[in-house]
With several copies, the nearest count.
Chain A
Amino acid sequence: MTSLNVNIAGVMLKNPITTASGTFSARDSGAFYDINELGAAITKGVSNVPWDGNPTPRIAEAYGGMLNAVGLQNPGIDDFINNELPFLRKFDTKIVVNVVGKTINEYCEVAEKLSDAAIDMMEINISCPNIKEGGISFGANPVMAAKITKEIRSIARKPIIMKLTPNVTDITEIAKAVEAAGADGVSLINTLLGMKIDVYQKKPVLWNGMGGLSGPAIKPVAVRMVYQVRRAVSIPIIGLGGIMTGEDAAEFLMAGADAVSIGTAALVDPTAPVRIKNELIEFMEQNGYRNLRQIRDAML
């Protein structure tokens, strides 16, 4: 029998398929597939107070991908805990809450509140601009990344997965810094910073000018980073970036990921998480893998 179980930082996922932050809504995605099929639901970023995000247009299409500049719109942690979490809790899947902030204090405030909530893990999105340090993202600098990890780790009473940005010279440096600072895992990659110009309107397509590139276009960069980080740290890795098929998921697992997230694929095909799960099972059966560990070890 093929087993899909995987233990991420002490939390047992029944399968390695999770939803990439910002591309899943329990109510709306749940209209297309059964949320109970997910290994974990990773929510969109939640901050200490409600954020409005950016004006529209927030979405632009790119070759084999898309750009988004949603700007982390969310109703804030209190509203999340009161209104969204109870609905999510009805399902038999693990709940991972993506956390965002503009200062370390803001992250900590959310982490503190989530520690008492009925969730399983937190995913800390450190791609947000650090407004205290000139707006450079927390994840772009190993010292800052370590600092924020340490502070959150010291107050969070759930596992914390640090979500890394790919827009750095050396991702292994950041991964090693957050591991040393106590991260229980890392997830990678977030979006690549990109831009699209409408040459007829003579302006960027996105209101915000720049946005995050996601989708199959970025997969080779993501696979490379998962491969590098796997060889640099020993904590669990959630791999993502352009996964469209079960074969893609297997590629991330083989590169060293313990679990995977499905993002843009779910916007392009709303049933993608379940389809990819089934394709992964088929891949495992046809190629003689009985569990995920065997895929992960195939190339080590």
Chain B
Amino acid sequence: MIKKIIAAELIENKEIADKVYRMTMKAPQISESFCPGQFINVYLNDKSMLLPRPLSISSVCEDTVTLIYKVVGKGTRKIAAYCPGEVVRVSTSLGNGFRLEDVFNELGGNSKVIALVGGGMGVAPLIGLARMLIKEKKVRGLSDEVVQIIAVVGFYEEPILLEALEECCHRVYFATENGTEGFKGNVIQLIEQNDIRADYYMACGPKPMLRAIAGRCENTGISIQVSLEERMGCGYGACVGCVCKTREKGTSKTKLKKVCSDGPVFFGNEVVWDD
């Protein structure tokens, strides 16, 4: 795959929740071959900060790409200051997204449920993922009786993207940790107390959440794909900054994989969660 650094024109860059922004840019080079779970590098103009900021592609639409990001530090503060019409330097899609093939290959029979689990900003890529799953269902001629897509998402205080999820999921469960809205608690508690069951999980969020849900799946023998996050240098596989420990299938041998280029999506049972 040839990768590029491109200049993309901003169409929108708007605060949609406290410190959370939606940025839409014109970038056909990205949108045309999008796989949900992939991310792009956003390069900054501020010359004191050299490293790119990796941000998941939340969704694509024709020739545009939408990111949902939170301002957490100096870099994201700069990104939030871009105005529509300005041009941002970004990479084309990086990493390997969710394996949709694998989901449908595994789900035989009727009344199957795919659960998209998200925590915090991890909800962002679930939008694109849900839309792509729907597309894929259509292509495969699978009705809602055969496969349903639900979303289970948790936030600290303020939920985001609920409407977008509702548009493409059968049902959306949500929690806030401090109980301002929805279920009070975290995603795991939400799942347990509502007795939510699914036949395939696809998750993105903080590591403790991923670890917990992957553990549940492990115990019940259900498949899960998780999208990991790690502090990055290059974001494309050159610096070996962003590793995670994985287990080689069927062995106890571990291998360090690069989150940026081998991931960020891994199978839950591939990841060594204990550290």
A interface, CB within 8 angstroms of B: 22-25, 27-29, 31-32, 44, 52-53, 55-61, 63-66, 68, 70, 73, 215-216, 264, 266-271
Q: What CA separation (Å) do A63 and B75 show in the bound complex?
A: 12
By the criterion CB–CB under 8 Å, are B241 and A24 in contact? Answer: no
Q: Does B271 sit at the interface, judged by CB under 8 A?
A: no
B139 at the binding interface (Cβ < 8 Å) = no
CA distance A68 to B233 in the complex (A): 9
The verdict on A68 contacting B234 (CB below 8 Å), with A63-B48, A73-B256 known, is no
Chain A residues closer than 8 Å to B142, beta-carbon distance: none
Pick from A32, A57, A59: contact of B3, CB under 8 Å: A32
Which B residues lie at the A interface, using CB under 8 A? 1-5, 43, 47-52, 75, 91, 230-234, 236-244, 256, 261, 275
The interface centre, meaning the residue of A24, A70, A268, A269 with most chain B CB atoms within 10 A of its CB, is A268
Shortest CB-to-CB span from B87 to chain A, Å, is 16
In the assembled complex, the CB of A139 is this many whole angstroms from the nearest CB of chain B, namely 22
Q: Which of A52, A215, A266 contacts B256 (CB 8 A)?
A: A52
Sorted nearest first, the 5 A-B pairs with minimum C-beta distance are A28-B237, A59-B241, A267-B234, A59-B233, A57-B231
Which residues of chain B come closer than 8 Å to A29, judged between CB atoms?
236-238
Give Cα A60–Cα B50 distance, bound, in whole angstroms: 11
Q: Known contacts being A64-B48, A65-B50, is A59 close to B239, with CB within 8 Å?
A: yes
With beta carbons under 8 angstroms apart, the residue of B51, B91, B237 that contacts A59 is B51
Q: A32-B5, A59-B241, A268-B52 are in contact. List 9 more A-B contacts (CB 8 A).
A: A56-B230, A58-B242, A61-B51, A66-B51, A68-B239, A73-B256, A267-B51, A270-B234, A271-B5
Q: Are B48 and A59 in contact, CB atoms less than 8 angstroms apart?
A: no
CB contacts (< 8 Å) of B2 on chain A: these are 31-32
Please, how many angstroms separate the alpha-carbon atoms of A209 and B50 in the complex?
21
A59-B51, A65-B50, A66-B51 are contacts. A270–B241 as well, Cβ < 8 Å?
no
How far apart are the CA atoms of A181 and B1 in the complex, in Å? 45
CA gap between A23 and B237 in the complex, in Å: 9
* A59 & B5 in contact (Cβ 8 Å cutoff): no
Partner of A70, one of B4, B75, B91, B240: B240
Tell me whether chain B's interface is mostly helix, strand or loop, or mixed. loop
A27 CA / B91 CA spacing, docked (Å): 17
Would you call A59 and B238 a contact (CB within 8 A)?
Answer: no
Residues in chain B near residue A269, CB distance under 8 A: 5, 43
A66 touching B48, Cβ below 8 Å:
no
Complex Cα distance, B75 from A10, in Å, reads: 42
Query: What's the least CB distance linking A108 to chain B, in Å?
Result: 25
A278 to B52, CA, bound (A): 23
Cβ–Cβ contact B233 & A32, under 8 A:
no
Cross-chain contact A32 with B236 (CB below 8 angstroms): yes
When A65-B50, A73-B243, A267-B51 are in contact, do A55 and B238 touch as well, CB less than 8 Å?
no
- Nearest residue (CB) in A for B2 is A31
29 A-B residue pairs with CB within 8 Å: A22-B240, A24-B238, A25-B237, A25-B240, A28-B238, A28-B261, A31-B236, A56-B230, A56-B241, A57-B230, A57-B231, A58-B240, A58-B243, A59-B241, A63-B47, A63-B48, A64-B47, A64-B50, A66-B50, A68-B233, A70-B241, A266-B234, A266-B238, A267-B51, A267-B234, A268-B43, A268-B51, A268-B234, A271-B5
Q: Which residues of B contact A56 (CB under 8 A)?
A: 230-231, 241-244
